[in-house]
Amino acid sequence: MNLMNFVFLETYCLKRFAENDAKEFPDFCTRDCIPGYPCIRNNCPYLDFTSAENAFAYVGKDSSSTEEILLSEEDDLQLWETICRKKIKEAWAEYIRIHPEVSDL
């Protein structure tokens, strides 16, 4: 049974918007207006997000997407899904070939 669900969101900081510019930064804020876990954990009033459907991405160790490809509704989404699933399996197989010790996980 899989108890995990991964959700890919595009997040935004609304602090620099004109209506929020004069307001105080929250105590947990890094003041760079790049949203992260502290914003989510503390329910930051400036955090906003949108979904990122039809995405193929590399997510780094801070859980931020460092490289991604997003397709629109006009693209061939069934082909996109087939290619993405194939590439994920290929990447895992190559990783296991290089690091066989993790294949038992």
Q: What is the pLDDT of residues 28-71, one digit of tens each?
A: 998 888 888 889 999 999 999 988 888 888 888 878 888 888 88
What's the number of domains the chain is made of? 1
Residue 3 domain-assigned (yes or no): no
Residue 49 domain-assigned (yes or no): yes
Residue 21 domain-assigned (yes or no): yes
Q: Can you tell me the distance from the alpha carbon of 101 to that of 105, in angstroms, rounded to the nearest whole number?
A: 8
Range of the domain at 42: 9-104
* Cβ–Cβ < 8 Å for 54, 77: yes
**pTM greater than the 0.75 cutoff:** no
Which region, left, alpha or beta, applies to residue 58 given φ > 0 means left and ψ of -120 to 50 means alpha?
beta
Residue 2 domain-assigned (yes or no): no
